[in-house]
Structure formats: C-alpha cells, structure tokens
Amino acid sequence: MGIYERQRTGKLIFLAISILAIILFLLVSNSLVKELAQQERERMDIWASATQRLAKANVDSDFEFLLAIISQNNSIPVLVSDSAYNILDFRNFSLPDKNDADKAAFEELSQQNREYLTERLKEAGKGKSLRQLSETDPHFIKVEIYYNAYQYIYYEDSILLRRLSMYPYIQLGVMIILALIIYLAVIYTKKAEQNRVWAGLSKETAHQLGTPISSLMAWNEYLASTGAEKEVTDEMNKDIKRLSVIADRFSKIGSRPELQLEYLNQVVEQSLQYMRSRISGKVKISLNLSEDDHGVLLSAPLFEWVMENLTKNAVDAMGGEGSLTITTGTEKGKVWIDVADTGKGIARKNFKNVFSPGYTTKKRGWGLGLTLVQRIIEDYHGGKIYVKDSELGKGTTFRIELPPA
C-alpha cells in the first residue's frame, strides 16, 4: 500500500470514527430529551388526575393538596378545553398582549390573547376531534369531570425541554465550525511551512550549483584554448548554459518571480527546442498552436521549466515511444495549453495525488516534478493545472489555464 493510499485509508477511518461519534452523541442527547419528555408526560398525568379529582371533590376532599399539585406546574404550557375547542383554563403561555400578565382566568384575557390561545389549540388539533387526539397524541389528555362528561388537556413542551432538544444540534454546529477552523489553520500552517522549505531548498540548490558551473565554464574555455574539437566544446558549452539556466530557475522559485508580457506560442516553442534533441526519435511531437499568439504575464524561464517537466513526464510515461501533442487556445476568458501523450495513463483516483510531494510511479525519482509545476503555475502565475483527461493504457492530457494579460 502506497503512502497516498495509506493517507486515504487513514482519512476514511478518521471520518468513520467522527461520524460514529456524532451519531452516538445525538443518540445519547435524544435519549435524554425523550426521558425528560416522558417525565413531563407523567407530571401532566398527575396534573390531569388532580384536576379531575378537584372537579369531583366533595367536602371530605383534600382541596389544599389538589390545589398544590395544580399550582406546582409553573413551566409546562397547558390549555384546558371542552370537546368543542372552547378554552376553559390556561397556564404558562407567553401571551402577545403583555397587559394580561397578571390575569389567571381565560375570560379575563383580552380578545387578542383569547384568540391567540384558541388558535394555538386549533393548530395543535389539526381539525381532529379532541377525543380522537387524546387516544393518539401524547400531548392531549382526556379528563372525565363527571359521568360521561369530559374536558381535554393540551400541553406543550416546556421551554427547558425545547432548549435541550436544540442543544445537541447547536453543540454539533459549534463543533463542526471549530473543527473546520482547526483544519484550515493546520492547512495554512502546513502550506506556509512548505513554502519556507521550498524557498530555502531552492536558494541553497542555486547556490550549490553556482561554484561547479563556474568551474565547468573555466575548464571548457581551457579545453577550447588547447585545441580541443570545437564540436565537443560547443556541446559542452550548451550544457553548461543549460545548467546556468537551471540554477537561475532555482533562484527564481526561491522568491516570487517578476512576470513579464510574453507570447504563449513563442514560449512553448522555445521550451521544446532543448528537449527535441534529447527525446527519442520514436516520440512524435505535434504542435497545434492557436492562430492568435496570446499575450500572458509569465516568468519565461519558469514556464519553460513547466513545459519541460510535462514533456519529460509524458516521454517517460510512453516508455520513449508514442505521440506527444501540445495544443494552445482560449476558452471562457482563459488561455490554455494541453499536453497530451499516448502513455500508460493515470487512474482517476490519482488525478489529484499526482501533484502531491513524493508521489511517483517511477522506480527512481523524488516525486517533486509535478508539485513544482503546480507551484509555478498556481502560486506564481495565478493559473491552474489539472489532469483534464486520462485513460489507463491510452494516455493522459494535462491542462494549464492562465489569465490573459
């Protein structure tokens, strides 16, 4: 199992554990809410029983005890009505007309408040008979006042229960937001650290290449002065200049490069000049350049590096034999370049992984080429690079998108 497969498996395991923890948390919270709801139902059953006994009370009844039970309900909203939805009593409702705050009898309330409570009851009843609701809805209780005469108690969840019902979801939302903030902070810190590593490594590489390049230039001049074959010294000089270009590229990637107006087709052709002589003759290179040579803001040395990386990867993917096609054009206000090969292709699950540091399918290599390409295009040129299309055994197309100048 490769490093990215292990990372993907680890992420899936973490996601599964997180989802399981969330489900468990919601189940426990809902269990507590249901338990509290059941306790409120039991309290209302006792309240209904006390109301019934008070209605049937005689001189021997303990009025104080029954009234104490009824008066102890100071949190659960209750409406008492007859079978025709006529409200007889109410408790613990927040009324729209605050002038009735000290009134206890329904008849004493303002018309606005009476209509409000009646509407609440009708909404809860949904047009059904209260007798039927008392048999099917736990929030309706039937109370026999005297023989074959009934009143109906409708109660709503207390404010505490409603708040507790919402609390798990509020807490879950807060946890998700905090997790997202932590995740973004980690990503930002990781990216900043990678940027520092890239900059330091690039500058150090450019510095280390400087001394041997100078020495090679001196030795080449010495060989030329001693009568060495001109063809040999000329080829050596080309490679030394190439090394100088590479050192210059590393120095540029260590800091934000200066972008200049360049013409895309011209830069693409220049980038292939060096590679053509170093690519197997069995690789057919085709250029389909747009008729209009679009101007873009580029660091030409770095963009040439991008094209060389993509070209070399394509040749390696084809095993040194096949077709390489480079196409340019414009679409939706973007200038694009497609690099297509007839190589072994990339599995769809790895379309994003190919740009990750260390990802490689080669026996030799650091897996940094496409990471470097993505950094140059996206961080330095404000563009985008992605796998446009790929099919195993048939080939791959990379697309670069750049903003026009």
Same domain, residue pair 272 and 236: no
Mark which of 132, 157, 182 sits at the end of a domain.
157
Same domain, residue pair 245 and 262: no
pLDDT for the residue 3: 52
Mark which of 255, 282, 304 sits at the end of a domain.
255
pLDDT for the residue 336: 93
Mark which of 255, 272, 289 sits at the end of a domain.
255
pLDDT for the residue 326: 93
pLDDT for the residue 277: 74
Residue whose pair of structure tokens reads 């961080």 in the numeric block: 379
Candidates 155, 127, 128; CA nearest to 139 is 155
Give me the domain span that covers residue 385: 257-402
Q: Phi/psi at 102 (nearest 5 deg)? A: -100, 10
Same domain, residue pair 11 and 141: yes
Q: How far apart are CA 117 and CA 122, in angstroms?
A: 9
Q: CA-based Rg of the chain, rounded to a whole angstrom?
A: 40
Residues 343/322, Cβ–Cβ less than 8 Å = yes
Residues 338/264, Cβ–Cβ less than 8 Å = no
Candidates 385, 387, 272; CA nearest to 334 is 385
pTM greater than the 0.75 cutoff: no
Same domain, residue pair 268 and 250: no
Which residues of the chain are under the pLDDT cut of 50? 1
Task: Report yes or no on 10 lying in a domain.
Answer: yes
- Residue 154 β-bridge partners: 79, 140
Burial tier of 283 (Cβ tally within 10 Å: 0-12, 13-18, 19+): buried
pLDDT for the residue 389: 93
Same domain, residue pair 85 and 197: no
pLDDT for the residue 328: 92
Based on the structure, what is the number of domains in the chain? Answer: 3
Q: Phi/psi at 163 (nearest 5 deg)? A: -65, -40
- Residue 62 β-bridge partners: none
Same domain, residue pair 125 and 63: yes
Q: Which residues contact 86 (CB under 8 A, 6 or more apart)?
A: none
CA distances from 72 to 139, 164, 191, 319 (A): 19, 22, 61, 86
For the chain, the first-to-last Cα distance in angstroms comes to 45
